[in-house]
Amino acid sequence: MHASLHVLKSFGVTVGRFIESYVDDLKWILKGGFHMRYSPAALPVRQSVKARGVFVVQYPQERLPLPERFRGFPFLIEGRCTACGTCARVCPPQCIWIKRAEDPETGKSLRRPESFFIDVSICMNCGFCAEFCPFDAIKMGHEIEIASFKGGDDFLWDLQRLTRPLSYHAQIHPTAYAEEEREKASKKKEE
């Protein structure tokens, strides 16, 4: 008898949630939201944590906006990398390889990479490379879709594929970018 009460209670919860999802959708439709179903403004509302309806994102045609602090694959900000190797040392899966550029005449090391590779098939998007970079040269991007039918070198991203302008960082991380700019301005005032 005791077990059957638990089963009935569980069934009641399931039916309640089922009905609740349709009630939420009916409220949305009656408020005039159905014509907005495919609009970019409606997706975050309908697919938020608080939403209960049955309408889902029709991926890949529809996409939810990624949070600013989302960690996809790393990228390099143009002109900042000094090839110090800190990122490669702190990388847990050891998926970063760097070769420092050399002056062809003197053979001395230059403060820039000749080659820089990240194997994104191994990268676990932990963000240690970006966290420990002393020159803020590495940032975590929003790129997450890396499926490939070719395999092999498609997952080994080189310096050219990894490098992005500073404006890209400002676009996908506006809050972090503004904070970095404030810090730079305050350091200049102190000097």
For residues 30 and 56, which has the higher predicted lDDT (pLDDT)? 30
Q: Quick: pLDDT tens for 40-74.
A: 566 566 666 566 555 566 777 777 778 888 899 99
Considering only 12-21, 36-45, 57-66, 153-162, which range has the smallest mean pLDDT?
Answer: 36-45
Environment class of residue 185 by beta-carbon count within 10 Å: exposed (0-12), middle (13-18) or buried (19+)? exposed
**Cα–Cα nearest to 143, from 157, 132, 129:** 157
Mean residue pLDDT of the chain comes to 84
Environment class of residue 138 by beta-carbon count within 10 Å: exposed (0-12), middle (13-18) or buried (19+)? buried
d(CA 80, CA 101): 14
Is residue 104 over pLDDT 80?
Answer: yes
Question: SS3 letters for 69-131?
Answer: CCCCCEEEECCCCCCCCHHHHHCCCCCEEEEEEECCCCCCEEEEEEEEEEECCCCCCCCHHHH
Is residue 151 over pLDDT 70?
Answer: no
Contact of 56 with 32, CB cutoff 8 Å: no
Dihedral sign, CA of 56, 60, 61, 65? positive
Is residue 36 over pLDDT 70?
Answer: no
Q: Which phi and psi angles does 118 have, rounded to 5°?
A: -130, 125
List Cα–Cα distances, 93 to 120, 124, 133, 154, 156, in angstroms.
11, 8, 17, 18, 14
Is residue 141 over pLDDT 70?
Answer: yes
CB under 8 Å to 93, separation ≥6 — which residues?
122, 123, 124
Q: Quick: pLDDT tens for 109-123.
A: 999 999 999 999 899
Looking at residue 44, its pLDDT comes to 61
Looking at residue 159, its pLDDT comes to 94
Domains defined for the chain, CATH in brackets: 1-65 (no CATH), 74-190 (3.30.70.3270)
List Cα–Cα distances, 136 to 70, 147, 169, 173, in angstroms.
17, 28, 11, 13
The answer to whether the predicted template modeling score (pTM) of the entire model surpasses 0.75 is no
d(CA 153, CA 47): 36
